[in-house]
Every structure is written in C-alpha cells, then in structure tokens.
Amino acid sequence: MDRRAFGKKRWWELGYEMSELVRLTDITKVYQGGVTGALNGVSLAIEEGEFTAIMGPSGSGKSTLLNLVAGLDRPSSGSVTVAGSDLGRLSETGLARFRRDRIGFVFQFFHLLPNLTALENVLIPARLKSRVSAESAGRALMSRLGIGEVADRYPSRLSGGQQQRVAVARALINQPTLLLADEPTGALDTKSGDQVMALFAELHQEGQTIVLVTHDPKLATRYAARVISMLDGRVIDDARLETTERKPADVIRVRSEEPSR
Amino acid sequence: MTAILVKALADLRRRRVQAAVIFLTVLLAMATGTMALTLMSQTRDPYQAAFEAQKGAHLQVEFKASTDPQLLATTPAIIGASAAGGPYPATSLQFKHGGQSFYVQTFGRDSAGGDVEVLNVTAGHWPRANDEIVLTRSFAELNNVSIGDTIKVVSVPAQSTLKVVGEVVDIDEGSADLSSQHAWVLKGAVPALTTPGLSTYLMDYRFPADPTSSQLQGYVDRLRASLPPGSITASINYLLIRSIFNITNQIITGVLSAFSVFALAATIAIMATLVTGIVISAFREIGIMKAVGFTPAGVIGVFALQVIIPALAACLIGIPAGTILSQPLLANSSHALGLPYMPSFSLGLDLLLLVGGLVVVSLAATLPALRAGLLKPITAITIATAPRGRSGGWLRRQAARLRLPQPIVLGIGDAFARPLRAALTLVTVLLGVATVVVAIGLPRSFQLINNSETGAGNYQVVINRSNALPDAEVMRILNAQPETARVVALDGENIAVPGISDPVNSRIFRGDSSKLAYMVIAGRWFSGPGEVLAPAGFLHDTHLKIGDTFTGSLNGQALQLRVVGEVYDISNLGHELFMDYATLPPNTPNSDPSTYWVTLRPGSDLNAYIQRVAGTQPDLLDVHPNNTSLIGPVKIIDSVLLVLAVVLFLIGVGGIFNTLLLNTRERIQDTATLKAVGMSPRQVIVMVAASAGLLALVAGLMAMPVGLYLHHLLNDVVSTSTGNDTPPSVYDVFNLFELMAIPLLGVAVAIVASLLPGRWAARTNVIEVLHAE
C-alpha cells in the first residue's frame, strides 16, 4: 500500500505490522427522545498509525462517533474497543483514566481553562496523573509546537491559532495512543487552520494515530490517508488514499454506499 | 410588567435550589429578628402596667421592732408619699415542707388590698385565721408547695403549723429563683411566729410620680434623719426590683438583637452573592433580553425578583414564626407578673418588619443586578459569558509548589477566583462560626459563675438552723461527724454605707471562707476583721477602690472597714459586702450564723452524712445537698444561644452551598473540559471540596478572634448588668485544642456541604456542555 511521503521515516519502514487500535462493532447511538439514531449500526476499525478523517454534513453522526471512541459517551448498543480496552466495561472513573492516559482530544473551540496560563493548561493532564516533573516536558512540547514564548500568557491573550496549538500540546502531554480532533480548524482563519493541520501531519509522520472530524472534504483529502464519509448515522464511504496526488478520482474506495434519497 | 414577572418566575423555577437557600436564610434571619423586637416592645409595658394596676410601692422600708408604730405612721408625710401601707409587723419565718426547710420574711397584714402594694391573689384566698398563710406564686411553684399544704414552723419553740390558703403575685418582688420571697399571715398571727430580736416593721410608700434613684435615696435619708438612730434596718425600691425582673429578658433581647443583626447581614451577603452570580452566568441571556425589548429597569427587575419573591415568602412565614416563638418568653413574663397571659404582639411592628425586610432584601438584590441593567446588549451577546475571575492564581501556584494533587490545586485557585463573592461568603461563614464560638463559650462562662455562686466542688452540704437551736449545738453536731472536713458558717446583716441609700446586704463568714472559691477579680480575700470585699457595683456607687477605708453602720454601731478586694457576685446587682465574722462588734444581736456550708472529706458518703446529721435534730435542722444547678434564667439564655448558633450555622452552611453552586455552574464548561482531558468524577468532587474547605478555613481562622471578642464583650455586658466586672477566668473557657478544632470542624462541615454541588459537577455531561456551541 503506498502512502504519502512527508520526508520523515515512515512507520512502515520500521518493519512494524499495522495493528488494530480502534474497533467499533455494530454501534448504535440513540439520544433520549430521538426518533432516528445518531448512529445506526456502525462498524469500523482504525489501525495504529493511521490518519483518518471522518467527514460528513451536520448531523451525520461524525462527532458522536468521535465521542464514543474518546470514551466521552457510551453507545446505546454495540461495542467500542480502543487499544485493547473494551470501553463498555469501564466505569466513569475508568473512562476518565482512559482519556487521561490514552487519548488526546482537541476541540473546535479549544476549551482552554481561562484562569490558567497556557503552560498550566498544557500540564493539566500530566498533573492529573501526578507527574511531578512534567513542567519541563510541557515547555519542551510548547517550544516544539512554536508556542514556547506564550507559556506564561493567559488564553485571552493568545490568537486562535496559538490557543489551538496550546490545546494540541495539552492533548499530547501524556503521549496518548490516539489523538482525536473535532473540527480543529473550525474556529480558525485559513492561515491558522493550515498551520494546525500541518502540525497534525507532522505528528502523523512521527507515528501518531490521528482521527479527525471535519465537514471540509478538501481538508480531509489533503491531509488524511483514509477518509470515512458519514451520512444519517451510517458510514457511506470508506476510502484509503493510494497516491500522492490527492485527487478524488484516485481514491480507492474500500466501501461505498449510495446515500439514500 | 407581565413579561418581567413571567421571565423572573421562569428563572426562579430553573434555580429552585438557590431559591430554597434564599428562602431558608431569610426565614431564619427574620424569625430571630422578629423574636428580638417583639420581646423588646412587649416586655417593657406589662411590668409597668402590672405595677400601676397593683399600685406598687416605690419604696419599702424595714424598721426595727422597737420603733414606735405611731411614729412610723407619720413617715409618709415626712417624705411626701401620696399613699402608704403599714406599719406591718414582720418576722423571719423558718418552716419545713416536703423534707426541706425554707426561710421567708413574713408580714402581718389583714387584707390584700389597700392604697399601695395591692397583692394580686392568683389562687385560693387571703388568710382568714391565724393558722393560715399565703405565699408568692413564684415561691410555691419553685418549691412545689400547693394550696392546702401544711407547713411546720420551726423558727419558734412552739413549732406550730400553718395551712397554705393562697398564692399571690407581689409586684415588688423578683422571681423566687433570683430573690428571697415574702409570705403573709394575719396581723394577729405574727406574735406567735416571732423569734425575739428578729422582728421588724414594714412600711410601703407610693409617690405621685415615679421617683428617680437619687430621689429615693433622698427619701431614705430624710427618714433616717427624722427617726431614732438605727431605726431603719433595710430598704428596697421599685427600680431595683424592675431591673431584677427584667434582667433575664434584657439579656435575652440583647443577645437576640445582636445575633439577628448577624443573621440579617449574612443573609444579605448570600443574596448579593447569588444575584451577582446569576448575572454573571446569564450574560448572553441579558443580551438577548435587551435585544428583544427589555429595558434596563426591566432586566434589573427580572434578577431582583428572583430574590425578592422567595424572600417575601420567607418574610410572610418568618415574621409570624418569630412572633409565635417569642410568646413562651412573654408568657413567662406575664405569669411572673400575675397577669393573665394574652398572646401579645404588635401588628404595626410586624408590618414594619415586613416592609423593612423587603426594602433591605430589595436593595441587596437590586444593587448587584445593576450590572445587568447597564450592560450593552451587543457586548453581552458577543462575549456571551462574563469575564472569568482571574484571581486565585497566586494561591494556585503556592498549592502547586507544595505538590498538592491537581484537583486540590485547582480547587484552591477557584476559591478566590471571584474576590467579591469569596469575601461575601467569608462573611456568612465567619458570622456562623463566631456565633458557634459564643454559643459554646458563654454557657461555659455562666457555668463558672454558677459554680462560684453555688460553691460547686467546695462544699457538699448546706445546713440551715432554726433559731430554736443554738449555733454552738450545730457546730458540736457537725464537728462530731468524722466526714466533716471544714465548716464555714454564714450570717447575713444589713450594713448602712455612705453613698448607698439602702442598707447593704452583707455576708459574714465564720471559718476558712477563702476556700469557698469566690471569684476574686482584684486584690485578695479578707484575712482578718475589718477587711471587706465587694463587687464592682458597690465600689462604683460608693466611689471606693481597693485600699480605701470607710465607716459602715450596723444597729447604730460604727464599723471601720477597709476594701481589700473586688469579688464577683450577682446578688442585689452588685450591692453586697463580704467580711469575716470577727468584724462584727461584740454582742451584735441575732448575729449567730444560721447557715452552714460543710465540706466533706474525700470518699465520704454524702447521703449517709445528710441523713445522720438531719436525724440529730429533724425539726430544727434543714440538711440538704448543695444545689449547684443552673438557675432558670441562665437555662433560658443558654437555650436561646443554642438556637441562635444553629440559625447562624445553617445560614453559614447555606452561604457556602450557594457559592459552590454558583461556582460550579459558572465553571461548568471548565469542568467538562477537565473531565474530557481525564479528570475523574471523584477528582471533580475533591476539586469542589477543596474550594469549600479553603473558604471555610480562612473564615474559621478569622472567626475565632471575632467569636472570642464577642464572648468577651457579652460576658462584660452580662457582668455589668449585674453590677460586676468580669473575672478573667470567665473569659478563658477554651483550651488550645478547641481553638484549633473549631475552625477545622467548620472546614469539615463545608466539605460536607460541598458534596452535593460536587456531585452535580462530577455528573457534568461533557458532550452537552462542550458541544453546545
């Protein structure tokens, strides 16, 4: 399988076998009072090292899917397994630890704590894990992400792009198995959004497994190696990009469904 | 107006918990305030009304039995009295009833009526025969003596019996637990009941207008000047009686008033916190309200009404509740006055309280709501949330340096994120803890005073001697008992002192009285004849200080006395002298002690001792254990303090709860974010609890000195009202452990109060909150 080349050592060159990191089996999610489900019988697997974009219009269930993978929500039926852990068997405390140790989550609207400095925001997950020497790691991470100089500023004094990079740093501080991003560029201008996506691409090159939700097909096909399309709570398309030219016509579809009309 | 009310009611339904907090705190504050004001307004009049109805005597004077009654009959004209009663023959009567001995000053009087000092017969009838007696209702109730009971007179050799035929209320006497009581028989019965040398005459005087203290003193001086020397043995005036009567209610009213002001202040702080919190959390809503047409006044009205409505409901319940709760105390006063109890309250006062309460509540709610009214619509909509408090960063960094767990670090920072809210919360908790300190300390202080007054721990047996049994015989009996370790005998005399109109009651001790552990505030206990101690009231009124000498007069004989100490004693509101028996001139008539305080050796059987000694002279000796229990008024005050402590404590808990609720709701997005990045539900609860704990700790530490100061102050108020300075030991009722434990207990309570808001925060639905954009 060809992958895009980004100039760094690709994970497959290390001789690793791709292993399954996330498995969703027949997932259904119905909210209280809902007539139709947010998710209807979704099954898919995400492998380690993949950069997956989940795409679809508003209400398609993509964010719901992401929340289930993150352990922020529980399915009405079906199972979610991430890094070998069946999330359905975990208590609320167990899910919190799972999110702290295994997941890095980046929100559309950053969701930084306004009364903490940028560095303090980055360090929260580490300190929840009682990592007493995380400060130096936090500063190093921020420097790497190009925001080292704003470590002691409060979020209100940062640009949108800076805030989102702080959020990314927070998501990475505990070296998560899986990085999830829900419309990470939705609240950013084009330039800032490109910077953030370039960051994701760089992280993926280093082996980070990323799942990104977006409604922008251009963004999805430009950066992700796999694009899952959703509509009305179902996966209607699941394509891995095989060439370095990112043209939709070159997409080899793994699965396809005609959207119901 | 309708739109404002509709919006306010809708918001009130949404904020049910906070409405409940407002309702409860206002209810408690208004109830205690109403109690205080009702007592104040209703207790002043009944005494005066009863005094007028009974034509109370402004002045009562006792004269030696050798004074010519015809001369006494001319005394009203000498001092310008408009009415007079007497001269009534009087004697000191000792009788036994129910195994106990009692002393009452008994007067011969042929009817309860007259031009002055009308006695209100509340049960039974006035004596119709020489073997009948009436007692005060207060005495009868305190000592379980009923109409129809027979009492055995033991103060005279004949030991006759008298039948109790009636109970009266004498407006010129205090309650039996605070002052000695009188009894009445027919004039013809007095000679047979009189112990030689212990009889007197009593005259009652009433004046056209209520005389002042100095006028009363002038009357007594004029009597003294116009009668043979030493004729006057004692006198008492209506001002002193009224003070003694009102003292309990005055203390209770004072305490209630002070602490109801605290309760109101704490409630105002809670309301202000609540309204500011609601405004902060409803920024976007304010913008939308203004955009759709609410005026600034309308917006203010919406927020203010969310407090005023539950507060109004609380006032409508709390004011009647406070009025009802004051009734038992008023009934107690009416009963003591011999007045039929009628539920009494002032509707005007209650309405004034309602209006006043609503005005205060409205101000407390409206002022913080002004921010909402003045906010520009576009600002509110655009920003959508109020600027977050940034204070608390320093605290958070210090906590982080201490390597405290992250939830605790975040909670500590949150506690003071909004300084004004934190300050208001500190006020409510501070007042609660300070009141608890007073409620613990003051009863302990009263207990110490009670122990001093009753000799608790210093003597175990009290013996009263009939005049028919010689003092020497009593001493022989007591010294013959192997358990007797020490006997202090007590005589009472009335000594005339320059500067004080009434002869001063004096306690004359024989034996080692220094071991009785009276509270000596300054100077020392007397060590020989001529040395005296007195309370502050006496020293102040006579302009004497320790080291001064003065000349007293007893039975016309001069006594050279020197003040060696100041002692704490509430008898006669500080007009009392303490001295050694050897101070009395030789051959002072009727000066043999009649009361004996016996200290037993360790390990002695108290009951066996009492039975054995009483058995030696069953009719002439009254032997009983020393009664060290608290007097009724003190128990009432202790109960009131306990209620106040509970009220203020609950308000303090309400304040913490309210603040935590506001904080957790305001920071719901932050909590959701923290949960999303891995904070567990338990850690969320710990974070909220840390916030509560820190607020309570700071407030508790501040409250301790405030509470101790209040304890100090209230002790001084009580002491001053009884004519005393406060002994230092009375202030010092807390040990070091308690001084540390009380604030920590407050922290524990605050943490418990935080559990509910903490659990709500822990259950935050991350998705709903973070994706609600």
Which pLDDT tens digit goes with each residue over A99-129?
A: 999 999 999 889 998 888 999 999 989 988 8
Q: Which residues of B touch A (CB under 8 A)?
A: 388-390, 392-393, 396, 400, 403, 405-407, 409, 413-414, 417, 669-670, 672-683, 766-767, 770-771, 773
Q: Which of A72, A93, A100 sits opposite B767 (nearest CB)?
A: A72
Give the residue-averaged pLDDT of B145-150. Answer: 94
Kindly list the residues from chain A whose CB atom is less than 8 angstroms away from the CB atom of residue B398.
none
- Determine which of B149-153, B178-182, B442-446 has the lowest per-residue pLDDT on average: B178-182
DSSP state of B340: P
Domain assignment of residue A29, yes or no? yes
Instruction: Please check whether residue B183 is in contact with residue B105, taking contact to mean a CB–CB distance below 8 angstroms.
Output: yes
Give the residue with greater pLDDT, A116 vs B481. B481
Residue-level pLDDT at B54: 86
Residue A134 lies in a domain: no
**Selection from B773, B597, B764 nearest residue B688 by Cα:** B764
Among A93, A107, A113, select the one facing B682 at the smallest CB separation.
Answer: A93
Going by C-alpha positions, the residue among B643, B636, B634, B257 that lies closest to residue B452 is: B634
For the stretch B605-655, pLDDT in tens is: 999 999 999 999 888 888 989 988 887 778 888 888 888 888 888 888 888
Which residue is it, tokens 């009817």? B111
Q: Rounded to whole angstroms, what are the CA distances from B634 to A179, B115, B535, B718?
A: 71, 36, 20, 11
Q: What b/e string do you get for B289-308 counting C-beta neighbours within 10 Å, with b at 16 or more?
A: bbeeebeeebbbbbbbbbbb
Size of interface A-B (CB pairs under 8 A): 81
**Inter-chain residue contact A96 with B681, CB threshold 8 Å:** yes
Nearest to A128 among B400, B670, B683 (CB): B683
| pLDDT tens column, B485-506 | 999 999 888 898 988 877 898 9
Q: Which of A165-179, B470-484, B489-503 has the lowest mean pLDDT?
A: B489-503
- Cβ within 8 Å, pair A129-B678: yes
Closest-CA residue of A relative to B767 is A72
Please indicate, yes or no, if residue A117 is contained in any of the structural domains. Answer: no
More confident residue, B187 or A215: B187
* pLDDT over threshold 80, residue B340: no
Q: Please tell me the predicted confidence (pLDDT) of residue A251.
A: 44
pLDDT tens, position by position, B522-562: 999 999 999 999 999 999 999 999 999 999 988 778 999 99
Contact B673 A113 (CB under 8 A): yes
> How far out from the chain centre does Cα B20 lie?
32
Three-state DSSP class for residue B593 = coil
Contact B291, B381 (CB under 8 A): yes
Amino acid at B287: G
Domain contains A152: no
CB contacts, 8 Å: B400 with chain A: 127
**Considering CB atoms only, which of A99, A115, A170 is closest to B388?**
A115
Give the model's confidence band at B224: pLDDT under 50 very low, under 70 low, under 90 confident, else very high. Answer: confident
pLDDT band at B773 (very low <50, low <70, confident <90, very high): very low
Express each pLDDT in B13-51 by its tens digit: 888 888 888 898 889 888 988 888 887 777 666 677 778
Reported confidence tier of residue B512, pLDDT bands at 50, 70, 90: very high
Q: Which residues of B touch A92 (CB under 8 A)?
A: 680-681
Q: What is the pLDDT of residue A88?
A: 94
Contacts of B673 in chain A (CB under 8 A): 107, 111-113
Q: How far is B737 from chain A (nearest CA, A)?
A: 34
Please check whether residue A164 lies inside any domain of the structure.
no
Answer whether residue B389 shows pLDDT above 70.
Answer: no
pLDDT level of residue A250 (50, 70, 90 thresholds): very low
Q: Chain B partners of A174 at a C-beta cutoff of 8 Å?
A: 678
**pLDDT for A253:** 46
Q: What's the pTM?
A: 0.79
Q: What is the mean pLDDT of residues A62-75?
A: 92
Nearest to B766 among A72, A100, A101 (CB): A72
**Please, which pLDDT band fits residue B387 given cuts at 50, 70 and 90?**
low
pLDDT of residue B634: 82
Q: How many domains does chain A have?
A: 1
B678–A109 CB contact, under 8 Å: no
Question: What 3-state class would DSSP assign to B73?
Answer: helix
Distance from CA of B759 to the nearest CA of A (A): 13
Give the Cα separation of B209 and B211 in Å (integer).
6
Q: Tell me if residue B83 falls in helix, strand or coil.
A: strand
The C-alpha atoms of residue B119 and residue B121 are separated, in whole angstroms, by 6
Q: How far is A97 from chain B (nearest CA, A)?
A: 6
The pLDDT value recorded for residue B42 is 72
- Among B679, B683, B770, the residue with its CB nearest the CB of A111 is B770
Residue of B nearest to A66 (CA): B767
Q: Is the peptide bond before A259 cis (omega within 30 degrees of 0)?
A: no
The partner residue sitting opposite A115, judged by closest CB among B400, B417, B773, is: B417
- The model's confidence at residue A1, banded by pLDDT at 50, 70 and 90, is very low
| Two tokens, residue B668 | 């719901």
B454 has a pLDDT exceeding 90: no
Query: Which of A101, A115, A129 is opposite residue B393, by nearest beta carbon?
Result: A115
| pLDDT for the residue B772 | 54
Instruction: State yes or no: pLDDT of A255 exceeds 70.
Output: no
- Report the run of H or E that residue B625 belongs to, with start and end: strand B621-625
Please state the rounded mean pLDDT for residues B181-188: 92
* A123 assigned to some structural domain: no
Angle of helix B681-721 relative to helix B238-281, nearest 10 degrees, comes to: 160
Q: Could A105 and B676 be called an inter-chain contact, meaning their C-beta atoms sit closer than 8 Å?
A: yes
Q: Inform me whether the pLDDT recorded for A244 exceeds 80.
A: no
Within-domain flag for A133? no
Phi-psi region of B384 (alpha: psi -120 to 50; beta: other; left: phi over 0): left
Say yes or no to pLDDT of B380 above 70. Answer: no
**Most confident among B70-79, B376-385, B386-395 (mean pLDDT):** B70-79
CB contact (8 A) between residue B405 and residue A124:
no
Numbered residues of chain A with Cβ closer than 8 Å to any chain B Cβ = 63, 67, 70, 72-73, 92-93, 96-97, 99-101, 103, 105, 107-109, 111-116, 120, 124-125, 127-130, 132, 154, 170-171, 174
Which structural domain, as residue segments, surrounds residue A97? 20-112+172-256
What is the mean predicted confidence (pLDDT) over A124-152?
A: 90
Question: Which of B280, B677, B764 to substitute to test the interface with A, most A CBs within 10 Å?
Answer: B677
Q: What is the model's pLDDT at position B174?
A: 67
For residue A197, what is the domain's CATH number?
3.40.50.300
Is residue A140 scored above 70 in pLDDT?
A: yes
pLDDT at A89 over 90: yes
Residue range B390-413: average pLDDT? 87
Q: What is the mean pLDDT of chain B?
A: 87
- A223 in any annotated domain: yes
**Would you call A70 and B676 a contact, using CB atoms and an 8 Å cutoff?**
yes
The pLDDT assigned to B342 comes to 66
Q: Which of B109, B110, B117, B127 is nearest to B167 (CA)?
A: B127
Q: Which of A124, A130, A174 sits opposite B674 (nearest CB)?
A: A124
Cβ distance B677 to A99 less than 8 Å, yes or no, reads yes
Q: What is the mean pLDDT of residues B338-346?
A: 68
Give the model's pLDDT for residue B583: 94
- Where do we find the tokens 């004849």? B529
- Per the model's pLDDT, the better-predicted residue between A7 and B191 turns out to be B191
Q: Do A96 and B389 touch (CB under 8 A)?
A: no
Q: How far is B673 from chain A (nearest CA, A)?
A: 6
What pLDDT shows up at residue A254? 45
| Burial category of B90 from C-beta neighbours within 10 Å (exposed 0-12, middle 13-18, buried 19 and up) | buried
Residue B213: Cβ within 10 Å count: 12
pLDDT of residue A259: 38
Give residue A16's pLDDT.
39
Q: Which of A93, A113, A183 to mutate to test the interface with B (most CBs of B within 10 A)?
A: A113
Half-sphere exposure of B418 (CA within 13 A, CB side): 20
| Neighbour order of strands in the sheet with A85-86 | A39-47, A20-29, A77-82, A85-86
Percent of chain B surpassing pLDDT 90: 43
Smallest CA–CA separation between B364 and chain A, in Å?
28
Mean pLDDT in residue range A129-136: 82
Per-residue pLDDT reduced to its tens digit, B570-615: 887 889 999 999 999 887 877 889 899 999 999 999 999 999 999 9
Alpha helices in B106-188 (DSSP H): 137-142
Q: Taking CA atoms, what residue in B is nearest to A93?
A: B680
| Residue A17 confidence (pLDDT) | 45
Please state the rounded mean pLDDT for residues B326-347: 72
